[in-house]
Amino acid sequence: GTVYTLTPVLTVSNPTVVEGLNSHAVFNVSLSKASPVDTTLTLALTAGTATTPADYTGTTVEYSTNGGASWTAYGANVTLVAGMTSLLVRTPVANDSNSEGIEAFTLTATRTAGLTTAASAVGTATIVDDEAKPILTISDAPPVVEGGTATFNYTLSSAASANLTVNWTTSSGTA
C-alpha cells in the first residue's frame, strides 16, 4: 500500500538576488506540513564563493514569521510554533563596484527540538553581479624604425576583481 509520512520535511529555499537591486537575500525556511509540536531551529550562514563582509553581511541575520511584514534580529534560535509551516530569513547583500562573477553562500537550518524527517536543511543564495565586465582596449603602436620594437598599450575600462589572462598573436601586414 501507500506509505504516508506524518513527520514534516524541513527545507530551505535557494534565492537568487541581483547585487544593487536586492538589498537582502531572503530564504524561505519551511515545513512540508504543520507539526503538532513546536520546531526549534538554529540558523548558520556559510561563505562559499561569496564572502562576508565583501558580498553579504553574515553577522546581520533577521527572521520573519509573518511573511516579511516585520523582522526580528536572530539570536541563538528561532521557533516555528505548532501549526506554523514557514518563516523567512534574510541577510543584507553588499553592493560593491567590483565586476565579479556569480557568487554564492548558504543558510543551514538545523532542528534542535521538534519533529522533522532530517535534522537539517541547506539553501544556497546566488548573487548575480550588476557591474559591467571590464573592456580591454589595445592601442595602435606608434611608428617604429625597421628593426625596432613596437609597443602596444593595454587598458581596462574598469578594475577587474580577479587576475586576467590576455592571449594575443601578431600577423603580417604592411610592415
Cα(61)–Cα(17) distance, integer angstroms: 16
- pLDDT grade for 143, boundaries at 50, 70 and 90: confident
pLDDT for 152 equals: 76
pLDDT for 163 equals: 72
Contact 12, 88 (CB under 8 A): no
Cell (9 digits) for 64:
520573519
Residue type, position 156, single letter? L
Window from 9-13, 86-90, 149-153 with minimum mean pLDDT: 149-153
Q: What is the pTM of this model?
A: 0.74
pLDDT at 110 over 70: yes
pLDDT single digits (tens) 63-79 = 999 999 999 999 999 99
- pLDDT grade for 173, boundaries at 50, 70 and 90: low
Distance of CA 80 to the CA centre of its chain: 25
Distance of CA 134 to the CA centre of its chain: 22
Cα(21)–Cα(95) distance, integer angstroms: 9
Report the SS3 class of residue 46.
strand
Cα(82)–Cα(73) distance, integer angstroms: 21
Cα(72)–Cα(61) distance, integer angstroms: 9
pLDDT for 130 equals: 67
Cell (9 digits) for 2:
501507500
pLDDT for 149 equals: 81
Q: State which H helix or E strand residue 57 sits in.
A: none
The gap between the terminal CA atoms of the chain, to the nearest Å, is 84
pLDDT single digits (tens) 7-60 = 999 999 999 999 878 889 999 999 999 999 999 999 999 999 998 888 888 788
Cα(95)–Cα(42) distance, integer angstroms: 27
In the numeric block, the cell 577587474 is attached to 160
